[in-house]
């Protein structure tokens, strides 16, 4: 065995305990409280996904009401814009974002929320958020997607009920 | 003795420093752009078409070329000196070096011609000129060849010295090189099997999600390939420079083995927010990443304890009095100690990044460049500067041009990185400012960002000055007519603890076996699934 100094032994035990506590905290927050990352949703063909067809929401991206106060937002990314560029929902709405790309990789982050996703052609990224404040939020492309990357963004307007 | 090794080392280091000079040039420009000083229209005249072409040069030259060339050169020196044995096949290492240089030129030409403005991550389906990818492959293959030269030397040494423990400096260097060879299998597969045939038009479509997964197979261990050479110096050399001894030599060995075993099967922590990777795999990689925290914690204790021995030997007393007794007047020492301090912040930020859902808060914001300028841009680069402050005089036979300038250089790098690192972290965390974006003209930029943008820009300017000080010292040293009075030897720290390391800490077999098993468990099923269901539909795009 390795000879380890006593003070170092104590330090190692504290380090391991610290890591374990952090790990449990992360596990609880993600699987008990449901603060989740994007997970496999569905796969698409980026060459045809933007073509309107029955059942293809990305053919007509936008906001779809699916229940009282519940919406699905289908967002198409392309260089260097999102379609739609603007979404308006009443305060208290729960919106599930479905985002994909018809060209290169992009990013999708709604500032001041936990919505942050990598947008990969061929895959659909999905996260849900509830808007509790009447205000505006930016959604921003955060993955380099070419020389116009810095212009790629949109707005969510949360209105008073 | 060692004439050829010195020459090979000097070539590697020379190319590394030229790369950093050109790449580093764009750093302050990017920072100025952030605060609305856009010099890119002037740069058009020297052929830089866009911010992003400059950023591609910055990141490829700094993060890939400066590091890889420095590390292979440094190891040519450390392995042969530490084993006290010349390279058994120096021609092989020369072939490796030449391959790396050919690859570098081949990759640089398309970047300079604005045919590969794809940043250093080159995510498909953005499509660069094929020679960019081939050049990158040749740089990696060249570094493998140099590695094979090291292993042959090591095997020969082993035969001549049965039963002798591998010295820690050689062992750490060799483990790092093996880690690199295993790690780069991912990006090699991505480029050779997927990207290069597609960029030549031989296949129509590519699966960007699969390509990302291969990329990050390499991408995480890559950061340990950068960091471990600094650890070789922190464990193996700095205690000696401080006048101390290595506190626990066996634990230092264990740390290198743990990094070998754990560096690869964690790559998915860069893909937490990827749509195509299931939760279980992300979480498993998150768990393994947390276990990687342990060797870094061990390092913090062991290195600080070793320096404390030095400080006390130098007459320092009391709880913290030994800190002042450290050789702060020695630029090589000071640079590396400051690098360590910045690494504390880098390490804490790294823990945040790797915490599964916490990653949602910072992923792809300017927090990320904030983080890796503290790690690869400081812990690693500033340590390499510190090493060069003795190694360049050693190789050139000339004293360092100006020690005061070198000290100022180390402290300004430290200060500049603190400001820039802090600014970039806060911009990402509080405002969600996106990473690698021409922020100064972004449509959504807000006035609230200004204080931190300015702080980061001041940091960037200080860093630019610091870089110039570094280069004036290197050029001054090489051009000087003075000769060293006494020869410089590689600093080699002795072990403090007289208990020798057990035999299993000098045995490759169990550690290589654990490494392979962990990789197969953590990557095998998910990669198999992704390959079996590959979505090869994306055509290429040129978006610049
Ligand atoms: C003169 C000192 C430096 C300054 C002022 C500087 C500044 C910057 C800035 C502002 C960015 C962000 C650009 C953006 O996100 O749009 C950046 C990116 C980057 N820097 Fe530096 N840098 C310096 C030195 C270094 C060094 C020494 C390294 C590594 C050895 C390095 C590696 C990188 C890499 C890899 C990126 C890519 C960005 C990404 O992928 O997010 N930099 N640098
Ligand atoms: Cu984009
Ligand atoms: Cu990583």
Residues of A in contact with B537 (CB under 8 A): 45-47, 121-122
- Asked whether residue A103 is domain-assigned, the answer is yes
Query: CA B471, CA B14: separation in Å to the nearest integer?
Result: 12
- Asked whether residue A1 is domain-assigned, the answer is yes
Query: Same domain for A28 and A71?
Result: no
Which ligand 1 atom lies nearest to the CA of residue B420? 5
Find out whether B86 and B1 touch, Cβ atoms under 8 Å: yes
Find the residue in B nearest to A41 (Cα).
B275
Q: Is the CB of B463 under 6 A from ligand 1?
A: yes
State the pLDDT at residue B426: 97
pLDDT tens column, B432-473: 999 999 999 998 999 999 999 999 999 999 999 999 999 999
Give the closest residue (by CA) to ligand 1 atom 35: B59
Model confidence at A46: pLDDT above 90: yes
State the pLDDT at residue B8: 97
CB contact (8 A) between residue B357 and residue A117: no
Residues of A in contact with B434 (CB under 8 A): 107, 109, 140-142
Instruction: List, as ranges, residues 500-519 from B with C-beta within 8 Å of A.
Output: 501-502, 505
Q: Of A1-5, B218-222, B484-488, give the lowest mean pLDDT range.
A: A1-5
Query: CA A125, CA A77: separation in Å to the nearest integer?
Result: 11
Query: Same domain for A20 and A69?
Result: no
CATH no. for residue A149? 2.60.40.420
Residues of A in contact with B123 (CB under 8 A): 104-105, 143
Query: Same domain for A72 and A142?
Result: yes
Q: What angle do CA B497, B348, B169 make, to 5 degrees?
A: 35
| Interval between CA B466 and ligand 3 midpoint (Å) | 28
Query: CA A88, CA B506: separation in Å to the nearest integer?
Result: 64
Q: Is the CB of B235 under 6 A from ligand 1?
A: no
- Asked whether residue A99 is domain-assigned, the answer is yes
Question: What percent of chain B lies above the pLDDT cut of 90?
Answer: 93
Find out whether B302 and B252 touch, Cβ atoms under 8 Å: yes
State the pLDDT at residue B40: 84
Query: CA B381, CA B365: separation in Å to the nearest integer?
Result: 23
Instruction: List, as ranges, residues 334-373 from B with C-beta within 8 Å of A.
Output: 351, 355-361, 363-365
pLDDT tens column, A6-34: 999 999 999 999 999 999 999 999 989 98
Query: Same domain for A9 and A76?
Result: no
Question: How many angstroms away from the CA of B420 is the closest CA of chain A?
Answer: 20
- Asked whether residue A49 is domain-assigned, the answer is no
Model confidence at B311: pLDDT above 80: yes
- Asked whether residue A123 is domain-assigned, the answer is yes
Query: Same domain for A104 and A150?
Result: yes
Q: Which class for A5: exposed (0-12), middle (13-18), buried (19 or more C-beta within 10 A)? A: middle
Place of tokens 């990017």: B30
A103-115 burial, b at 16+ Cβ within 10 Å, e below that, comes to bbbbbbbbbebbb
CB contact (8 A) between residue B357 and residue A37: yes
What 3-state class would DSSP assign to B124?
A: coil
Query: Is some CB atom of chain A closer than 8 A to the CB atom of B120?
Result: no
Query: Is some CB atom of chain A closer than 8 A to the CB atom of B315?
Result: no
Question: Could you say which of A47, A141, A143 has the minimum Cβ distance to residue B537?
Answer: A47
Model confidence at A161: pLDDT above 90: no
- Residue A128 pairs with which residues in a beta bridge? A96
On average, the pLDDT of chain B sits at 95
- What are the tokens at B127? 């499509």
Average pLDDT of span B132-155: 98
State the pLDDT at residue B41: 79
Give the closest residue (by CA) to ligand 1 atom 13: B436
Query: Same domain for A85 and A17?
Result: no
Query: Same domain for A76 and A136?
Result: yes
State the pLDDT at residue B39: 85
Query: Is some CB atom of chain B closer than 8 A to the CB atom of A78?
Result: no
Give the closest residue (by CA) to ligand 1 atom 16: B436
CB contact (8 A) between residue B287 and residue A4: no
State the pLDDT at residue B46: 80
Place of tokens 């630019």: B464
A55-86 burial, b at 16+ Cβ within 10 Å, e below that, comes to eebbeebebeeeeeeebbbbbbbbbbbbbbee
How many Cβ atoms from other residues are within 10 Å of residue B397's Cβ? 12
Domain count, chain A: 2
Model confidence at B48: pLDDT above 90: no
- Asked whether residue A17 is domain-assigned, the answer is yes
pLDDT tens column, B52-97: 999 999 999 999 999 999 999 999 999 999 999 999 999 999 999 9
State the pLDDT at residue B180: 97
Find out whether A156 and A136 touch, Cβ atoms under 8 Å: yes
State the pLDDT at residue B47: 80
Question: pLDDT band for position B141 (50/70/90)?
Answer: very high
B363-374 burial, b at 16+ Cβ within 10 Å, e below that, comes to bbbbbbbbbbbb
State the pLDDT at residue B499: 83
Average pLDDT of span A126-132: 96
Average pLDDT of span A69-97: 96
Give the closest residue (by CA) to ligand 1 atom 3: B27
Which ligand 1 atom lies nearest to the CA of residue B364? 41
Model confidence at A1: pLDDT above 80: no
Q: Is the CB of B371 under 6 A from ligand 1?
A: no
Query: Same domain for A76 and A147?
Result: yes
Query: CA A75, CA A111: separation in Å to the nearest integer?
Result: 16
Instruction: Flag whether the pTM goes above 0.90.
Output: yes
Model confidence at B36: pLDDT above 90: no
Query: Is some CB atom of chain B closer than 8 A to the CB atom of A154?
Result: no
Backbone torsions φ then ψ of A73, nearest 5 degrees = -110, 120
Q: Which domain holds residue A8?
A: 1-35
Query: Same domain for A99 and A131?
Result: yes
| Interval between CA B300 and ligand 2 midpoint (Å) | 40
Query: CA B46, CA B420: separation in Å to the nearest integer?
Result: 27
State the pLDDT at residue B379: 94
Enumerate the active-site residues of B. Answer: 220, 224, 371-373, 435-436
Whether complex ipTM tops 0.85: yes
Backbone torsions φ then ψ of A78, nearest 5 degrees = -155, 165
Instruction: List, as ranges, residues 390-429 from B with C-beta within 8 Å of A.
Output: none
Q: Is the CB of B421 under 6 A from ligand 1?
A: no
Which ligand 1 atom lies nearest to the CA of residue B467? 1
Mutation target among A7, A39, A82, A104 for the B interface, most CBs of B within 10 A:
A104
pLDDT tens column, B386-444: 999 999 999 999 999 999 999 999 999 999 999 999 999 999 999 999 999 999 999 89
- Asked whether residue A47 is domain-assigned, the answer is no
- Asked whether residue A153 is domain-assigned, the answer is yes
> Which residue, among B20, B31, B99, has the nearest Cα to B62 in the 3D structure?
B20
Query: Same domain for A131 and A93?
Result: yes
Query: CA B184, CA B190: separation in Å to the nearest integer?
Result: 10
State the pLDDT at residue B392: 97
Give the closest residue (by CA) to ligand 1 atom 22: B27
Question: pLDDT band for position A74 (50/70/90)?
Answer: very high
> Which residue, among B223, B33, B199, has the nearest Cα to B115 in the 3D structure?
B199
């Amino acid at each position: 065995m390795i000879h380890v100094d006593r003070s170092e032994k104590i330090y190692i035990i504290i380090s391991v305990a610290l890591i374990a506590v952090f790990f449990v905290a992360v596990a609880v927050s993600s699987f008990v409280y449901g603060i989740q990352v994007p997970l496999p949703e569905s796969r698409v063909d980026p060459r045809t996904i933007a073509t309107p067809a029955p059942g293809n929401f990305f053919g007509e991206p936008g906001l779809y009401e699916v229940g009282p106060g519940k919406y699905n937002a289908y967002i198409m990314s392309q260089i260097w814009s999102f379609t739609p560029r603007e979404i308006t929902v009443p305060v208290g709405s729960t919106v599930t974002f479905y985002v994909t790309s018809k060209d290169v990789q992009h990013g999708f982050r709604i500032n001041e929320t936990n919505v942050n996703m990598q947008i990969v052609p061929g895959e659909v990224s999905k996260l849900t958020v509830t808007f509790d404040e009447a205000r505006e939020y930016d959604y921003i492309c955060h993955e380099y997607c070419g020389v116009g990357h810095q212009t790629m963004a949109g707005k969510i307007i949360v209105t008073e009920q | 003795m060692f004439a050829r090794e010195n020459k090979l080392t000097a070539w590697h280091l020379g190319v590394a420093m030229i790369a950093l000079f050109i790449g580093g040039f764009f750093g302050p420009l990017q920072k100025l752009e952030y605060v609305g000083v856009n010099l890119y229209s002037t740069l058009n005249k020297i052929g830089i078409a866009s911010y992003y072409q400059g950023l591609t040069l910055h990141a490829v030259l700094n993060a890939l070329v400066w590091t890889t060339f420095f590390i292979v050169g440094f190891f040519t020196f450390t392995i042969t000196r530490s084993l006290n044995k010349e390279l058994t096949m120096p021609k092989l290492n020369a072939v490796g070096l030449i391959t790396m240089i050919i690859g570098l030129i081949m990759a640089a030409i398309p970047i300079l011609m604005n045919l590969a403005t794809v940043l250093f991550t080159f995510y498909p389906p953005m499509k660069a000129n094929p020679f960019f990818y081939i050049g990158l492959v040749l740089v990696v293959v060249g570094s493998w060849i140099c590695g094979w030269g090291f292993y042959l030397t090591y095997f020969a040494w082993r035969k001549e010295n049965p039963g002798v423990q591998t010295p820690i400096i050689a062992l750490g260097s060799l483990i790092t090189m093996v880690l690199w060879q295993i790690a780069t299998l991912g990006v090699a597969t991505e480029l050779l099997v997927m990207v290069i045939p597609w960029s030549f038009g031989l296949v129509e479509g590519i699966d960007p999600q699969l390509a990302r997964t291969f990329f990050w197979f390499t991408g995480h261990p890559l950061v340990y390939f950068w960091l471990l050479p600094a650890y070789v110096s922190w464990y193996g050399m700095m205690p000696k420079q401080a006048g101390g001894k290595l506190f626990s030599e066996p634990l230092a060995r264990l740390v290198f083995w743990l990094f070998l075993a754990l560096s690869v099967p964690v790559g998915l922590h860069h893909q937490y927010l990827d749509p195509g990777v299931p939760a279980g795999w992300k979480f498993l990689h998150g768990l393994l990443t947390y276990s990687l925290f342990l060797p870094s914690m061990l390092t913090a204790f062991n290195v600080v304890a070793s320096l404390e021995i030095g400080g006390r030997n130098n007459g320092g007393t009391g709880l913290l009095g030994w800190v002042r007794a450290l050789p702060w007047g020695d630029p090589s020492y000071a640079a590396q100690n400051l690098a360590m301090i910045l690494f504390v912040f880098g390490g804490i930020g790294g823990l945040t990044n790797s915490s599964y859902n916490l990653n949602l808060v910072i992923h792809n914001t300017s927090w990320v460049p904030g983080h890796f300028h503290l790690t690869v841009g400081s812990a690693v680069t500033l340590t390499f500067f510190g090493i060069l402050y003795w190694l360049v005089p050693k190789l050139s036979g000339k004293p360092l041009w100006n020690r005061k300038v070198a000290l100022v250089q180390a402290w300004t790098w430290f200060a500049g990185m603190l400001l820039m690192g802090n600014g970039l972290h806060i911009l990402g965390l509080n405002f969600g400012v996106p990473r690698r974006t021409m922020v100064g003209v972004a449509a959504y930029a807000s006035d609230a960002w200004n204080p931190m943008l300015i702080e980061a820009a001041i940091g960037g300017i200080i860093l630019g000055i610091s870089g110039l000080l570094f280069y004036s010292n290197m050029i001054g040293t090489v051009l000087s007519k003075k000769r060293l009075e006494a020869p410089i030897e590689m600093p080699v720290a002795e072990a403090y603890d007289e208990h020798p390391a057990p035999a299993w800490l000098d045995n490759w077999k169990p550690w290589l076996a654990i490494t392979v098993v962990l990789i197969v468990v953590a990557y095998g099923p998910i990669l198999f699934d992704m390959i079996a269901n590959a979505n090869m539909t994306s055509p290429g795009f040129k978006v610049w």
